[in-house]
Amino acid sequence: MVDDSLWTIFINASLVNNFVLAYFLGICPFLGVSAKLETASRMGGAVTFVMLVSSICAFGIQTLLVAIDAPYLKLIAFIAVIASTVQLVEMFIKKVSPALFRSLGIFLPLITTNCAILGLALFQTNKGYSFVQCIVYALGAGAGFTLALVLMAGLREKLELAEVPDVTRGTAMALMIAGLLSVTFMGFGGLGG
């Protein structure tokens, strides 16, 4: 029995419990692809899209697994579905829009090992969301991921030109910015409650 309103779900997934800054999901791409704004926003778009598709798939699988009473297959089924979803999406985009494929192409394989996608599937199952709630949850999570990534990219591009001390350069600084963003996002606590 989950009666969370769609708005609550969205705000929660994007701001209050931001996937990156509160749940630490998708940290690898967050640190890896956030150096340039352009790639960051594209990655955000790609992840949001895959999240949406795999969330729908995961919802179907969960329904199926409950029906055949095989909860132990959940993880394997999810990861298989996500991997193949990514493949299918890749093929689909390649066929439908080569331009989009060129801009997203290199990120799609990376997304398979993006824990945010699997995390989304697992969380939505744990929370027992309905179909519509799942879609909103996926959109919220994707928006939150993109927001965090884009903010991060802006700050990193700015600091690219800074005289950052040698010890801080690289991942350590990215983590510090992430920590500060995380502190900032704490201000959203209680929204959507």
Partner 1 sequence: MRLLGLKTFRHGVHPPESKDETSGLSIRQFPFAPLLIVPLVQHMGAPSIPVVEEGQEVERGQRIGRPDGFMSVSMHAPASGLVRRVALAPSISGRMVPAVYLEPFPGSTQEIEDGTPCPLEATKDEIIAAIQDAGVVGLGGAAFPTHVKLKIPDGKFVDTLIINGVECEPFLTTDHRVMLEESRDIFTGIRYLLKVTGAERVIVAVEANKPDAAEHLREAFPSDLNGSVEVLQVKYPQGAEKMLFSALLGREVPSRGLPLDIHALCCNVATAAQIGQLLPRGRGIQERVITVTGPAVKRKGNYRIPIGTPLRFLLEHVGVADDVNRVFLGGPMMGAAAPSLEISITKGTSGVTAFTDTAAERTHSPVYPCIRCGYCVDACPIFLDPSMLGRLAASEQFSTMADEHHLMDCFECGSCSFVCPSHIPLVQRFRGAKAAVRKSKAGAA
Partner 2 sequence: MANGGKTLEIRTSPHILSGYSVDTIMFNVVLALLPVAGFAVFAFGLAGLLTLSMAVASCVLTEHLICRAAGKPSTVGDWSVTITGLLYGLTLPPSLPLWMVAAGGVICVALGKALFGGLGYNTFNPALVGRAVLQAAFPVAMTSWIPGFAAGRFSSVPSSTLTLPFTSPEYDAITSATPLALWKFGREATATSDLAMGFISGSAGETSSVLILVGGVYLIARNMMSWRIPASIFATVFVFSGALHLVDPTRYASPIFMLFSGGLMLGATFMATDMVGSPMTSRGCYLYGALIGVVTIVIRTWGGLPEGVMYAILLGNAVTPHLDRWTRPTIYGAKGKEAPT
Partner 3 sequence: MSHSELATAPTPAPPSVWHMYRAMVGVGVFCGLLIVSVFQVTLPLIERNKAEALQKAIFQVLPNASTSTTFSFDVDGGFKLLEGDDVGQPLVYAGYDDAEQLVGLAVEAQGMGYQDVIALIYGYSFAEQAIIGIQVLESKETPGLGDKIETDPDFLENFQSLDVSVRGDGSALANSVVPVKHGEKTEPWEVDGITGATISSVAIANLLDRSAQYWVPRIRNNLRNFQGED
Question: Considering only residues 121-140, where is the footprint of partner 3 by CB under 8 A?
Answer: 127
- Tell me: does residue 192 bind partner 3 (CB under 8 A): yes
CB 104 within 8 A of CB 93: yes
Cα→Cα distances 184→11, 12, 139, 177, Å: 15, 15, 22, 10
Answer yes or no whether residue 17 interacts with partner 3 by CB under 8 A.
yes
Nearer to partner 1 by Cβ, of 122 and 173: the residue is 173
Q: Is 185 helix (H, G, I), strand (E, B) or coil?
A: helix
Cα dihedral across residues 96, 100, 105, 111: positive or negative: negative
DSSP 71: G
Nearest CB to partner 2, comparing residues 50 and 151: 151
Q: Using the rule CB under 8 A, is 73 a contact of partner 3?
A: yes
Q: Which residues bind partner 1 (CB under 8 A)?
A: 160-161, 163
Q: Which residues bind partner 2 (CB under 8 A)?
A: 37, 150-151, 154-155, 157-159, 162-165, 168, 173, 176-177, 180-181, 183-193
